[in-house]
Structure 1
Amino acid sequence: MDGARKDMHYPAVATPDPTNTPHVTADFLAAGEFRCGPAYRTWRAQGTEDWLVIYTVAGAGRIVGRDGGAHRLAEGEAVLYEPGAHHDYSTDPDPGRWHLLWAHFQPRNTWLPWLRWPQFRPGTGLCRLPENESRKAVRGALSRMVRLSRRTHRMAEPLAVNALEEALLWMAEAVGGGEWLGLDPRVRAAIDLLTREVATPFRADAIARACGLSPSRLSHLFKRETGMSLQQAADQARVRQAKHLLAYTDLPIQDVAGACGFESAFYFSRRFRRATGNSPSAFRERMRGGRTGTGDGEDPAAHEPRLGD
């Protein structure tokens, strides 16, 4: 559609004068997608009782603070309103159109650290996503959130909330300095390979070839940007996967070792003990509420010295 329709009552309607725009406070999540024309405007003196995030897909919006200060919300930018924050947003006159994705939500407690955005005005945060995978990921997650929020099956709302959570995580990464996004793309590619293919035996030359670098160049670059070696990163990813399999499956230790790319249960147990201080069997028992300790007979490395000793 070309602009905000007259019957759009949530979260906003076209209001040329600054009169309070009606709204419905979300119990947990209410979401949507608008393509607005030049007449679109929302104004709420006292904001809402929930949080509101608005992301510009195309065109531009204009947000105004209580003091009259304004900011052009360009493509790839998002605004986050805290409960009670002043709302004044509209289609920017240039280009006179605004395609936006929005969500009113009540955050889980675990989300609150992700909502500390740089402040445009008190209670109003701004996030500009760089033109890389984060922008594509946020748009994809928010679009999925909107689609799911319109469905009626039992799991639709939890899935929509998960999609919003994904978008907020990407935006938190962007406003927090973008540690992951700041890595060299070839280092990110190597990390993706190491975490995605934990069952494949570690070979630095194969990883380097997939990243378009020589093994020595990748090793130097990876160490410089992450502070660890490729082997250490591979072991970290494998141990993480092994913890999951030990805690949530009944796979024998030998099978867990194979599923995590270790050549033998003996080598796996040594690496696992070095990383966690527990043998695989002892870790499984501890996670399931059993006894703790490292001296169990099923561990092939129970009587071997630990690596690095």
Structure 2
Amino acid sequence: MSISFSGKTLDGSLFPPEVQGSIQLSYSRFWPRHRHDELEMNLVEHGTARYLLADRVYDLCPGTVVWLFPGQYHTHTDASPGYRHWVVCCRRVLIERMQAWGEAVPPSDDEPEGSFCRVLSPPDAKVLSDLLYQVEQIPGEETTRFYTGLTYAFATAWSLFSRSPHGEGQVLHPAVRQVIALLRQPEGDQLTVDAMARRVGISVSHLSRLFREQTGFALPEFRNRERLRRFHRLMTENPTRSLLDAALESGFGSYVQFYRVFCQEMGVSPVAMYPVRVKPPNLLPRHRSRP
């Protein structure tokens, strides 16, 4: 059983009420910033990537297990070619089943303190990977068997995670956190890099270097990804609106700029993901300068 994210904005439940959990081997290299009501566990099989959370960055490599909680917005990015990882999600009912079995369980908080990213030993990573493959192969109609297997996989993952060496992740510098918060607000999108540097009290060169080191993005790249996230949200709320209007409202200065960023990040054209009756213009009927 798997879920489809398709790069669109998500802030709620991953699946219908009757579904208790899901598992899939994902090859997606970029998922925009999102959160969901279900607890999520990832196991990295191949390649490297990063998770950007509100206050820290998780660096991922083969064998890494990450737990993502319902209150945590997270962006999966900076993945290497061929990157793949297991994405396993479950509702609270499966965690309660783990407790009924007498198993240790992850924290019940929506946004617990601390780091929940550790690298398993190669033997432990293989044990968990093999188990996830077995659960993923259970036919969809065998729901009792599937959810029992999924619960056991979660219990095993938490047990292996708990006995692995602690990793704190990279805590974000206060200036980087402030700039991220600014860029996630429409008014912050209007600020130049100079203005943001003055706002957080450090030099432009220091801010640019620090931001790239800690997030893996140049400031303009992160700004455009936030604009793209706003675009996905606007189109999800109103699928019939024009792509041009949504692009400009998201903060892009022109359709050409939006089209270039969209294709680069999503791997398809905007029309391929959001079919419309009237094709968007090819050039620049409306233009606004952006920093």
Structure 1 length as normaliser, TM-score?
0.43
TM-score normalised according to structure 2 size: 0.45
Where relative contact order (Cα < 8 A, 6+ residues apart) is larger, the structure is 2
- Rg larger for: 1
